[in-house]
Amino acid sequence: MFIIIRFFLLAALVKLLLETEKPVLCAGIYTSLGVILHLVLGWGLVPLLIATATAFALAWLYFWLLYRLQESIWFWIVLVGGLPIGLV
C-alpha cells in the first residue's frame, strides 16, 4: 500500500518540478512527508535527523538532476532509475 502511495507521490513531485522548476521545493515536500511518517512510527530523534538529512540530500540530487536533464534522453533514464530508490 505504501509503495503505491510513494509512487504516486514521486510522480506528482516530478510533475510539480516540471511546472515550477524548483528542485528544492520538491525535495522539501518529499522529505517533510517522510519526517511526518517517521514521527508517526515513533522514531527516535537521532535516527530521525540522520534519515531526514540523508533523504533530503538524495531527493535534492534526484530532482536537481531531473531539472538539469529536462530536455534530453537522460531525463528519462534518471527518472526511471531513481524511482526504485525513492520507493525504498
Q: Where are the domains of the chain?
A: 22-83
Cβ contacts of residue 20 below 8 Å, gap of 6+?
Answer: 26
Cα dihedral sign for 66, 20, 10, 24? positive
CA distances from 37 to 3, 8, 70, 72, 79 (A): 13, 16, 30, 34, 24
The pLDDT tens digits along the chain (88 residues) read 678 888 899 999 999 999 999 999 999 999 999 899 889 989 899 999 999 999 999 999 999 999 999 989 999 999 999 888 776 6
pLDDT value of residue 85: 75
Q: Within 21-73, where are the H helices? A: 23-40, 45-68
